[in-house]
Chains A and B, each alone.
Chain A
Amino acid sequence: MQAGSSGVGYGLKYQARCISDVKADTDHTSFLAGTLSLREENEVHLIRLSADGTELICEGLFSHPNEIWDLRSCPFDQRIFTTVYSTGESYGAAVWQIPELYGQLNSPQLERVALLDAHVSKIKCVLWWPSGRNDKLVSIDEENLFLWSLDSSKKAAQVQSKESAGTMHYLSGGAWDPHDVNSIAATCESSVQFWDLRTMTKTSSIDVSHVRTIDYDTKKDHILVTAEDETGIHIWDLRKTKVPIRELPGHTHWTWAVACNPEYDGLILSGGTDSAVNLWLAPTGSRDEITSDSGQNSLTLKVDPLVNSYTDYEDSVYGLAWSSREPWIFASLSYDGRVVVESVKPYLSRK
């Protein structure tokens, strides 16, 4: 398959769900991936794409005490990242630091910077301050939202504020608005909620059910992309939350992950449980695009938003990450622990 041949592969030992772009590493294109194995010793892999882009090199292999359900690299320190982990019965979240001397050690232990230990229910994700050096973190569990202040020198994190999402809502994930650092979008069963971090109050919501992943468009204000189980991908304008401004069909089965390209407008990546990664081009800027929701016909008559479908996966794809250093490169992670790094350059030049 053409798509398969262009990708660079790398195998994790175990099943895995999460991969993150190391944003703070400005010299290399590197990714962090964490495994999800219930009964084995889990690992965090630091993977670097070689300079010529033909090989994925394991830069570091660190053992992690529990299976990893969420992993986010710190945007300002390439050695720091957060994980959300599970021991099977209980959940935990922590900030980790890659040890200084990891080059010498065989399988070095990670240094734990702080334990985000105020949670009582199932933790879903931890979010870093979207850009720049800031010690704020947000963690989301099923019922609550926590704002943390991280003090890396004291190796501790304090809860700054906390708010319950309400008894009827089980939160499942979230994203930090890169355009408005006081705003957080959190997903729950039947809606996407928007929280103001200053007052810790819910400001608005979009009624959309079973959102798996949300992502803000980093280039364009007010644009939010959601991936839902059955109904595919929706692009929302936060000023008009009644109806999405664009719908993309998504995947044959569920659409699990979605990621907006940090550089190119309207370039969206989605991973699904049909073992495929789809690359979409759905610009939202022009007027006619927005008005075209009047008829499905006019949409289908337009250029197919699907640019390419990468189908050379063995299992469902849960992890997706664009490289912020080389924004035409993305890494995808399927459940069988296979990392594939692809370049979308051929499709960019075509458009």
Chain B
Amino acid sequence: MAIEDAPLDDKAKRMRDLLSSFYAPDPSVAAGSLPKGASLDAINTDSFDADQYMNLLVQRANLEGLLQKHVEMAAEIKNLDTDLQMLVYENYNKFISATDAIKRMKSNIVGMEANMEQLLDKIMSVQSRSDGVNNSLFGKREHIEKLHRTRNLLRKVQFIYDLPARLGKCIKAEAYADAVRFYTGAMPIFKAYGESSFQDCKRASEEAVVTITKNLQGKLFSDSESIQTRAEAAVLLKQLDFPVDGLKVRLFEKLEQSLGGLQVKIWDIADALEESNDEQENDLQLGFAVAHDASVHEFVESVRAYRVIFPDSESQLIKLSEDLITKHFLITEQHMKKRVSTATFLRVLRIIWDDVLLIDQVLPEALLHDYCFKVSQSAIKQYVSSMFSHLLDDVSGAMMKVHPQQNNVVEEQLQVALEAGKNSLLKGSMDLLLGFRQLLEDNLDLLVKLRELITDWVQAGFQQFFEALDTRFLLLSGRIKSSPQDQSLSEGLQSEKISSGLVLVLAQLCVFVEQTAIPRITEEIAASFSSSGARGYEHRPVFHPAEISRVFQSASEKFLHQYINMRTHRISVLLRKRFTTPNWIKHKEPREVHMFVDLFLQELEAVGSEVKQILSQGVRKHRRSESNGSTTSSLSNSLRDDKLRRSNTQRARSQLLETHLAKLFKQKVEIFTKVEFTRESVVTTIIKLGLKSLQEFVRLQTLNRSGFQQIQLDIQFLRTPLKELAEDEAAIDFLLDEVIVGASDRCLDPTPLEPPILDKLIHAKTAETKEQNSSVASPTSQ
């Protein structure tokens, strides 16, 4: 078996090696040594070892298996042999055919060169022929081309000559688009030859085009045409090189015009609404509103059309619509100069807002919302401030009604003014708050968004209002000079002297503001205008009632002092005249009480009547002694006379000492106490200041005996009426005594009048005044 195997094996291996060396990509593998295979499967590998294989086979298989293997192997070997033979044969076959082919090639290639040269010659001759043909045809071809061009030109000329007619047809058919296309097609030719050959033609077609343009313009402007056609017309016009911008401007102007109409209308509507509310004419109201709506819609429509017609016109339109809004608000502001109720204002705002919404639909790019917010902010702010300034004018108007009356103040006039002032202030501010609350509570988008701001404005408005009110009061009272812008207001004031009554009214009004108005307004504000907590600490409420209260408190005191000053000044003038005119050193004997006391008392009376109207009565705190007024006065009278007589007899030095001593023992009378807001306090203060002035005037004079006696008499007369008027009798007594002491100091011979004469003269005077009073009173009673 082994013998059988070996030749086969050798042969196959050689064969395989040969083939694989020929075909295999890697000869080294084929020629490699044979590694020892360890399995039976390795029979087909390069590393097949026959001995090993045999050993393995013998070891593993039994006899039957071996036999079977043998049979199998023999069959395989036989197969392989036939395969091999076939391969060798085929190989050889191929080799033979290849050798044949090489042989044939060798014999074929010999005649090739000569053929090639022949071919070249032939090609050369073909080329020369073709050149000849080409040359002969060239002239003809050029001619043909020329003819062709001429034909085209002729066709164009034909077209141009036909153009007017064609345009005419188009116009008839309203096929403007075609007409424009034709015309623009012919345009270059007209441009080139229009001046010479085609003059007529050009003119005719231009005429046609003019008609077209006209028609197109008409189309563009007619509102009845659809937007589409109008837009097309615009495009065509543009193609015709027509100055579209001009058209645009004109159309735009038209828009603006319609806008103008719109603006004027808005307040008509508001006014109409106002009126119709009064008159219950709902039809009229409705009519106006409808008219406005219609015109707004019209505007909106035309804006839309315009946008379509001139697509690149947004910026202009935005400007236009912003203009509309601005003008709306401008007109609103103008109207605000007049008094405008909140309802009307609201209505107008609503109309404007509606307009904005409408326009916004057409022109979302304009961001009219935002713009409107911006503008309306200032408008509302202005509205708020204008309302406040109206209020301010109201209040000061009420004050201005107090005309300076010379001496006789018309009864109750001051009281009326005060009440009017109080009323207009309180009611006015309540109305304002009511109005502002309407603003706040309205659910208009615009206002809802501005709510926070409005709250702030109202608060700040009140703050400023009160500050302005304070300034206005000061202005009215003449304490500060008016600034130029308030000239109109103060013109009436500066020419005339400011009435003291007015100052008193102002003083009381300040008290009212401080005690009544501010608390109420604060309450109201806290109730409905408190700023929400969203804002931080840095935004404190802008209305500071405490500060305002303080301002008005000090103002009221100032005004009261001013009133007292004005009144005492008048008394001072009176006294100055009294004491500087006569020659006191050569005074004549007193015959009657000097008339200046009447004037003095008159002044006090005027004060009394003014004070009575304005100020409340205080708690009467007369420092009366147990006995009644008249007896005290006579008692003190005799005492004083006694003192004076003594001082006359003794040396004046001791008298002075005595007065000093008396002063030491007397409780120092507090002459200048704080003024209170009561009738008595004010009157008393004025009397005190008047008497003090009297004393000072006396001290500046040098008197003879008669002069001294005159003063003694006058003072004595004054004693009773003054004490009736004033609440602080002790101080009045003290001051009157001081006058007499001062007079005696300044007298060369201070001999007082005898009490009986004094009494007599005083009685005479009292009787006289009584008579006068009755005679004055009787005609009025009849």
Contact = CB atoms under 8 A, between A and B. Distances in A.
Given A230-B572, A294-B483, A295-B474, 17 more contacts: A15-B745, A38-B748, A40-B652, A40-B653, A88-B702, A89-B585, A210-B576, A243-B481, A252-B672, A253-B692, A253-B693, A273-B696, A274-B672, A293-B481, A296-B474, A297-B551, A314-B660
Interface in A325-342: 335-336
A37 B745 CA distance: 8
A210 B568 CA distance: 14
Among the interface residues A13, A15, A273, A296, which one has the most CB atoms of the partner chain B within 10 A? A296
A253 B672 contact: yes
Identify whether the interface residues of B are mostly helix, strand, loop, or mixed. helix
A296 B660 CA distance: 42
Contact of A273 (B692, B745, B746): B692
A252 B561 CA distance: 10
A314 B663 CA distance: 9
A167 interface: no
A38 B653 contact: no
A230 B479 contact: no
A290 B652 CA distance: 51
A254 B576 CA distance: 13
Interface in A78-107: 86, 88-89
A335 B656 CA distance: 12
Nearest to B479: A296
A38 B692 contact: no
A335 B700 CA distance: 12
6 tightest A-B CB contacts, nearest first: A252-B672, A39-B652, A88-B702, A253-B692, A230-B569, A89-B585
A316 interface: yes
Given A38-B747, A39-B748, A335-B699, A230 B568 contact: yes
Contacts of A296: 474, 479-480, 558
Interface string A206-229: 000010000000000000000001
A252 B470 CA distance: 24
A300 interface: yes
B684 to A, nearest CB: 14
B554 interface: yes
A40 B672 CA distance: 32
Contact of A316 (B663, B668, B696): B696
Interface in B523-562: 551, 554, 558
A230 B483 CA distance: 26
A14 interface: yes
Interface residues of B, number: 34
Interface in A192-249: 210, 229-231, 243
Among the interface residues B569, B572, B652, B656, which one has the most CB atoms of the partner chain A within 10 A? B656
B730 interface: no
Contacts of A314: 660, 663, 668
Interface string A267-285: 0000001100000000000
B603 to A, nearest CB: 15
Nearest to A273: B696
B344 interface: no
A207 to B, nearest CB: 14
A225 B568 CA distance: 23
Interface in B670-695: 671-672, 689, 692-693
Interface string A287-308: 0000001111100100000000
A18 to B, nearest CB: 13
A135 B692 CA distance: 41
A253 B480 contact: no
Contacts of B568: 230
A150 to B, nearest CB: 28
Contacts of A86: 702
A274 B671 contact: yes
B554 A300 contact: yes
Contacts of B474: 295-297
Contacts of B699: 316, 335
Contacts of A316: 696, 699
B746 A38 contact: yes
B471 interface: yes
A296 B653 CA distance: 49
Contacts of B746: 38
Contacts of B551: 297
B565 interface: yes
Nearest to B483: A294
Nearest to A89: B585
A242 B585 CA distance: 39
Contacts of B585: 88-89
Contact of A14 (B565, B656, B663, B702): B656
Contacts of A39: 652, 748
Interface string A36-58: 01111000000000000000000
Contacts of B565: 230-231
Contact of B748 (A40, A88, A230): A88
A38 B655 CA distance: 13
Interface string B480-524: 110100000000000000000000000000000000000000000
B384 to A, nearest CB: 23
A290 B660 CA distance: 45
Contact of A38 (B481, B554, B660, B702): B702
Nearest to A67: B702
Given A86-B702, A253-B692, A297 B569 contact: no
Nearest to B668: A314
Interface in A16-38: 37-38
Given A14-B656, A88-B585, A230-B569, A297 B470 contact: yes
Contacts of A13: 653
A38 B749 CA distance: 10
A273 B693 CA distance: 9
Interface in B282-309: none
A221 to B, nearest CB: 26
A294 B483 CA distance: 8
A231 B479 CA distance: 12
A336 B702 CA distance: 17
A245 B699 CA distance: 32
B94 to A, nearest CB: 126
Contacts of B663: 314
B672 A295 contact: no
Nearest to B746: A38
Nearest to A170: B580
Interface string B696-712: 10010010000000000
Contacts of B693: 229, 253-254
Contacts of B671: 274
Contacts of B558: 296
A98 to B, nearest CB: 25
Contacts of B481: 243, 293
7 contacts: A14-B656, A39-B652, A88-B585, A229-B572, A253-B689, A273-B696, A295-B480
A243 B479 CA distance: 13
